[in-house]
Structure 1
Amino acid sequence: MLTVAMPKGRIFEEAVELLRRAGYRLPPELDESRKLIIDVPEEKMRFILAKPMDVSTYVEHGVADVGIAGKDVMLEEERDVYEILDLKISPCHLAVAGLPDGKMNRIAPRVATKYPNIASSYFREKGEQVEIIHLNGSIELAPLVGLADRIVDIVSTGRTLKENGLVELEKIVEVTSRLIVNPVSYRMKAAPIHEFVERLSVIIGEE
């Protein structure tokens, strides 16, 4: 049985659609269930539903053989997994944003983000000294209440930034979802994993 870690939320719906287009017979309960583990015996697959930031952890530790994770997670977590395939779903990008007239007058401006490693590396490469404030959600709130001068966050349509009076200032990196594999599983379950990759590659190549 191949165990697949899937991210709950926006990426999940696109990933399930991609798998179905690749010919996998996935039950309707995969879309509707609140279960965290769903077995699909007819496809010899088990799905683990996890938070997007946790998928690579499950794959790294071998709890899941393969997983679907955003490139943002891969850059932030730097897990010991193989990144096999760009699934080209859920496109977005990481960006620096802030108030349109916001000035960074501090010696070490504060940057709020749930991506502290990416943000630190980005500003360090630019030669800018900043103080990173790690938040887990509602990052847009930080500049509005004076907690931070800038934020680093995922931007998809830009609607959330606009609704909160923020503007994108710098693009850091493009992000799509990737298929990742546990190194041991890649050897021990080579046949089903190679078939999985091949079937998805065909669908992606048709787009």
Structure 2
Amino acid sequence: MTEQLTIAMPKGRIFREAANLLRRAGYRLPPEFEDSRKLIIEVEDEQFRFILAKPMDVATYVEHGVADLGIAGKDVLLEEERDVYELLDLKISSCYLAVAGLPDAKINEVAPKVATKYPNVATAYFREQGEQVEIITLNGSIELAPLVGLADRIVDIVSTGRTLKENGLVEMEHIAPVTSRLIVNPVSYRIKDAGISGIVRALTEVMD
């Protein structure tokens, strides 16, 4: 009998694109799968159990073994640095991390303030650039920070650039590309290797 696998996924764009990818790989997910408001969804036909979590929490569930597998953005993996293995770049939900700010704004030359929900990524990036900055951690509406004088610049995810443009901000520096990755708990990788290897093969085939 096939052993059940628990998969942590974030709701929203990644969830929809990942569900589509799993269907293309031959997995039978119910038609109402993406519309469910449940936080735990059992798909008995495939021996899958899905945990729906906030994007930043997916890697935490996988690290602690609550989930065997997870689908998480590379931005989360860079920021959280969790003890998980990265198995596949699923090449979905493409975007990138960037530095942005108001055009022609006077920047504090001593220690510019940078607002972000990625403090570890931002700190590492500016250190590599040889810049000393003050990091201000926010959890939402990062674009607001330069508009009200809280920060000189921001570090955030950019997809189409529309949000930056609508708020009068411009992209200044490109930090790293971001796509969604299939991650695994190290212990699950050893004890459930057959089922996990099967998923990796199936997904790899439809991506190729």
Same fold (TM over 0.5): yes
Gap regions ≥5 residues in structure 2: none
* Structure 2 residue aligned with 1:42: 45
* Structure 1 residue aligned with 2:182: 179
- For 1:38, the aligned partner's letter is I
Does residue 132 of structure 2 align to residue 134 of structure 1? no
TM superposition shift of 1:121: 0.3
- Tell me, in whole angstroms, the C-alpha distance in 2 between the residues paired with 1:119 and 1:63: 29
1:1-207 to structure 2, matched below 5 A, reads 1-205=4-208
- For 2:184, the aligned partner's letter is V
Give identity over the alignment, percent: 78
- For 2:159, the aligned partner's letter is S
- Tell me, in whole angstroms, the C-alpha distance in 1 between the residues paired with 2:100 and 2:183: 29
SS at match of 1:137: coil
Gap regions ≥5 residues in structure 1: none
Alignment RMSD (CA, Å)? 0.6
- For 2:175, the aligned partner's letter is I
Give the TM-score taking structure 1 as reference length. 0.98
TM superposition shift of 1:29: 2.7
Structure 1 stretches of 4+ with a deviation exceeding 2 A read none
- Tell me, in whole angstroms, the C-alpha distance in 2 between the residues paired with 1:30 and 1:133: 38
- For 1:125, the aligned partner's letter is E
Count of aligned residue pairs for this structure pair = 205
Deviations 1:95-138 (A, max 9, x none): 00000111212411100000000000000111100000000000
- For 1:7, the aligned partner's letter is P
SS at match of 1:171: strand
Deviations 1:32-62 (A, max 9, x none): 1110000001100000000011000000000
- For 1:104, the aligned partner's letter is I
- Tell me, in whole angstroms, the C-alpha distance in 2 between the residues paired with 1:127 and 1:19: 43
SS at match of 1:178: strand
- For 1:96, the aligned partner's letter is V
- For 1:145, the aligned partner's letter is V
- For 2:141, the aligned partner's letter is S
